[in-house]
Structure 1
Amino acid sequence: MLKKSVLWIHKWLGLITGLVVFLVSLSGAIYTFHDELKLLVYPEKYFLQSPASEATPLPLTELVSRAQSVLPDGEEISRVDLYPASGRSWVFRASDIDVAGFGHWNYFRYYKRVFMNPYTGECVAVEDSKNEFFQLILQLHMNLLLGKTYGHAIVAYSTIIFAVLLATGMILWWPKKWRGKTLRRSVWLDRKVKWKRFNYDLHNVWGFYVFPIALILCLTGLLFSFPEWKKPYSDFFNQFSIFNPNSTTLQNTTSQISKRHHAPIDNLLTYVLQKHPDAGMMSIRLREPDAPVVDVQIRLREDRSGLFRWYYVNTQDLSIKEIRSHDKLSAGDLMSALNFDLHTGTIGGLPTKILVFFIALGCASLPITGYFLWWNKRSKAKRKSLSRI
C-alpha cells in the first residue's frame, strides 16, 4: 500500500515537472564545462595576440574609461573580471535588467562584455552577451529563458519537487530481496531484455546511481534560488565549527597601501596584483566615486570561487579595513562559500566536473525514461479496456 501511494506521487510529480527537469539538467550538463569551452570557442577574445610578459597593466580607471567609450550611451560598466596572467584579456561587464520583465530578452535590457588588452588599452572585442550561447544556456538553466519573476520561481519549485522525486524514487527502487537476480537487476542493466523492460531498468538503475550527487545538486541549487536560506544553512553548520564564526579576518603586516595613483581602486589593484601574482582571477564591482570603501575579490584559482581572498580598503587614507579569507571561515560560512563549487563540480577539479556532467545527463534522462514508462502502462491499460468491450 505504501509503495502504491508513493508510486502515484512519483508518477504525477514527474509528469508535471518532467520538461523543466529535463531542460534544467541538460543545460546544467552543457554549462559544466563553459569555462573551458569559452577559451576554445572564443580564443581571440580571451587570449592576447602578443602577450606582454614584463609590461605593467594600465590603471583600472583608465581601462574602464576606454572600455566605456566603445559602448553606446546609457550602457554603463559595473564589473571587471581580470586575470593576472600576462596573456589574458580583461573583461569589462555592462548590464541592466528589468526584474519584472517576462522572457530573457525583456529581462535583460542590455548585457555587454568588453574585452580589453590591459597593457595597451586596446579593445579586443565587444560581445553581446545577452545573445551569447553560453549565457543563453545559463539563463535556460536558471530561469528557462522566462526572466526572473516567473522562470526563476518555476525552476526553484521544480527543483524542490525533483528532490522529492529522488526520495520517492529510492523508496520505489528498494529491492524486496538483497540477493540474486532481484538485487542484480536493481544495480545493473541487462541488455538482452526487451525494450520496455530495458527502459524500466534504465530508469530504475540510473535513478539509483544519480541519487546522492543529484540530491547535492538540488540542495546547492536551492541556495541560489532561495538566498534567504543561506543564513540558517550556515548557522546550522557553524555549530560544528572549530573556528570562531567572527574570526574571518587575516592578520596582515601592511596596515596601509601605497598611494601611486589618484583613484583608490587603482592603488588597491596595484597592491593585490603584486601580492597575488599567481591568482587565477580577480573581480571588482565598481563603486560610486564617493564610496567609503573599495574592494577586490581574488580567486586563488580561476575556476574555484570558494578559494578566495577579499580585500577591503578605506578610500580616505588607503588603510586596509579587512582581508577575508576562505581558510578563516567557520564551517557553515565555508559551506556557503563553497556552494558554487559544489553545484558546478569544480570543487575537485576535472574529475568532479566530469562526474557532475554525467550525473546531470543522468538526471535529464530520468524524465524521458519515466515518460515512456507512463506511456507504456497507459497504452497497456487502454488495450485491456478495449479487449473487454
Structure 2
Amino acid sequence: MTAKKIIRQLHLWLGLGSGLVVLIVTLSGAVLVFEKEIEHLASHRLYFVTPGAARLPVDSLKKQAENFDPAIKLTSLEMEPHAPDRTALFYGKKGTVTYLIAVHPYTGEVIKGVEAEKRFFPIMLRLHRYLLAGDAGKAVTGVACLIFLVLVISGIVLWWPKRWKYLRQRLRIKWTGSFKRIVWDLHAVGGFYMHLLIFVIALTGLTWSYKWFNNGIFMLFDGKLMEPYTAPANKVMQPADEGFYERLYQQVNRDLPYKGGLAFRFPPNDSLSVAVTKENYEAKITNVVDFIYYENGTGNVLRKRLYKDQSTGMKVRRAIYPIHTGNIFGWPTKILALVSCLLAASLPVTGLLIWLKGAKGGTQKKVKRKRIVLRSYMENARG
C-alpha cells in the first residue's frame, strides 16, 4: 500500500469517527461568531436605554442591584463609559448559580435579572466547548480538535495534484458535473481554499482543551510558564464608604483615558483590592486590556498590569481568543470566521456522502456494506 493510500484511509476513518463532533462544534462556533451583535438585537432592552439628564453614581446602581435579591453576592460590574445609552451590567452568585442583573444607569431601575447560564449564547458556548457534558465533553472535543488538524493536513496531501496540468481542475468546482463530482469538489476544493483559516481556528481552540498547549505558548515566547496573577492585599484596612466606586470610576477613566469597556471585579473579602480592567477599543486589534488594582476603601493604586508592559507570551495569549473567534480585526475577520466555520461544518457531510456514494466508482454492493457500517455506527453512538 502506497503512502497516499495510507493517508487516504487515515483521512477516511478519522473523518467518520469524529464527523458528528466536528459538525456540532463548527456549527455552534458559527453561531458564536456574531454573539454580541445577535445578543444586542435579540435582547435590546437588556443592554440599551434612552439616556437621561445625568447618570446615577455607581454606588447607587450597585445598591439597586443588591436590592434585586439580597441573597445574590455581586462579583463584577461592566459599563461602557463612552456609550451613554448602555445599561450597567452586574454579575453575581447565588450558591453555584450566576446571575446577570441589568440596571438603568439614569433611573436606577432593575431592568431585568436572569440566570446567566440559561441564556442562549452561554448554552451555545457550553455546547461548543463541552457538548453540554462537562469534563467528559471537553475531553471529546479536545480529541476531535486534534483529529481535525490531522484531517486538514491529510486533506491537503490528498488534494495535491500528481501533475501540475491537473492543478486547474483542483482549483474550481465543476457545477455542470454529476452529483458525485460536485460533492467531491465541494469537499476537496472548498476545503483547499479555507484550509489555512480552519487550521488556525482549530489550532487556537486547543488552548481551552489542553493545559500543555496553553503552557506551550508561554514557553515558546517567554521561555517560562505564565506567572499567576492575584489581586494584591490592601495595605490599609478601610471600609469602602458611600461614593467609593463612583470615585474609582472617575479615577480609572483618568488613568486610562481611551475609549473602552470598563469592568470592576468586586473583592471576595475586605482584605483584597478592587481589580478594574479596561479594554482598549482604540487599539489595532481586540482584547487589548489594562488592569489596575485599587486599594479597597482608599482608592490608592496598588499595582498596574498595563498591556504595553506585558510579556510577548501574554500578548500572544490575549490574541488567541480574538483569532479563534474571528474578532481580531472586527467585521472583516468575523465574516471570514463565519464562512470558515460553515465550510468546516460541511466537510463531515460531504465526506460522508463521498464515502456512501462511492465517489471513486464503488459498486452497489460496496455502497450497501458502507450503509450497514454507518447504521451500526449510529446505533452504537446512541447506545
Contact 2:29 2:128 in 1 (8 A): yes
Aligned to 1:357: 338
Aligned AA for 1:131? K
Of 194, 209, 212, which residue of structure 2 is paired with 1:225? 209
1:262 deviation in Å? Answer: 4.9
CA spacing shift, 1:207–1:56, aligned 2, 3 Å: same
Structure 1 unmatched ranges of 5 or more: 98-108, 240-244, 247-258
Partner amino acid, structure 1, of 2:17? I
Unaligned runs of 5+ in 2: 228-238, 369-383
Separation in 1, partners of 2:367, 2:116: 55
Q: In structure 1, which of residues 68, 80, 85 is the aligned counterpart of residue 77 of structure 2?
A: 80
Partner of 2:375: none
CA contact (8 A) 1:46 1:115 kept: yes
Partner of 1:124: 111
Give the one of 144, 149, 152 matched to 2:138: 152
Mapped contact 1:89–1:116 kept (Cα < 8 A):
yes
The alpha-carbon deviation at position 382 of structure 1 amounts to 4.4
What's the CA shift for 1:17? Answer: 0.9
Q: Which residue does the alignment assign to 1:290?
A: 270
CA contact (8 A) 1:326 1:337 kept: no
Amino acid in the other structure paired with 1:166: V
RMSD: 2.9
Tell me the distance in 1 between the aligned counterparts of 2:72 and 2:363. 60
Q: Are 1:310 and 1:323, in contact at CA under 8 Å, matched by a contact in 2? A: yes
Matching of residue 337 in structure 1 with residue 338 in structure 2: no
SS in 1 for 2:313: helix
Residue aligning to 2:89: 91
Q: 1:43 to 1:302 in 2, by over 3 A?
A: farther
| Match among 155, 159, 166 for residue 169 of structure 1 | 155
Residues 234, 332 of structure 1: 8 Å contact kept: yes
* Equivalent residue number for residue 365 of structure 2: 383
Matched residue, 1:249: none
State the alpha-carbon separation in 2 of the partners of residues 96 and 360 from structure 1.
36
Tell whether the 8 Å contact from 1:305 to 1:340 is kept in structure 2 after alignment. no
- Is the contact between residue 145 and residue 151 of structure 1 (CA under 8 Å) also seen in structure 2? yes
Deviates more, 1:305-314 or 1:167-176: 305-314
Structure 2 residue aligned with 1:59: 58
Q: Distance in 2 between matches of 1:205 and 1:342?
A: 24
Matched length: 353
Measure, in 1, the Cα distance between the counterparts of 2:276 and 2:136: 33
State the Cα distance separating 1:77 from its structure 2 match: 2.8
Residue identity over aligned pairs, in percent, reads 29
* Alignment check: 8 A CA contact 2:29 2:341 kept: yes
Answer yes or no: is the 8 Å Cα contact 1:130–1:136 preserved in 2. yes
Tell me which residue corresponds to 1:104: none
**Quick one: which amino acid aligns to residue 216 of structure 1?**
V
- From 78, 86, 101, the equivalent of 1:114 is 101
Structure 2 Cα separation of the partners of residues 227 and 96 of structure 1: 29
Q: Is the 8 A contact 2:263 2:278 kept in 1?
A: yes
Tell me how far 1:291 sits from its aligned partner.
Answer: 3.0
Q: Residues of 1 paired with 2:137 and 2:71: CA distance? A: 27
Is the CA contact (8 Å cut-off) linking 2:198 and 2:340 kept in structure 1?
yes
- Structure 2 CA distance, aligned partners of 1:170 and 1:316? 60
Q: 1:376 to 1:323 in 2, by over 3 A?
A: same
Amino acid aligned to 1:78: T
Counterpart CA distance in 2 for 1:316 and 1:37 is: 39
Q: Which residue of structure 1 lines up, in the alignment, with residue 230 of structure 2? A: none
CA contact (8 A) 1:94 1:112 kept: yes
Q: Supply the AA of the counterpart residue of 1:380.
A: G
Instruction: Look up the equivalent residue of 1:351 and give its one-letter code.
Output: P
Report SS of the residue matched to 1:5: helix
Asked if the contact 2:87/2:104 (under 8 Å) is kept, the reply is yes
Given that residues 292 and 316 in structure 1 are in contact (C-alpha distance below 8 angstroms), is that contact kept between their aligned partners in structure 2? Answer: no
Structure 1 range deviating more: 37-46 or 314-323 = 314-323
Map 1:198-213; keep pairs closer than 5 Å.
198-213=182-197
Match of 2:302 among 321, 337, 344: 321
- Measured after TM superposition, the shift of residue 380 of structure 1 is 3.0
Q: Write the deviation string for residues 218-245 of structure 1: whole angstroms up to 9, x where unpaired.
A: 1211112224532321231236xxxxx9
Q: Please say if 1:311 is aligned against 2:292.
A: yes
Q: Distance in 2 between matches of 1:23 and 1:385?
A: 26
After TM superposition, give the deviation of residue 351 of structure 1 in Å. 0.4
What is the alpha-carbon distance in structure 1 between the residues aligned to residue 367 and residue 28 of structure 2? 40
In structure 2, what residue type is equivalent to 1:32? V
CA contact (8 A) 1:214 1:360 kept: yes
Cα distance in structure 2, aligned partners of 1:382 and 1:41: 49
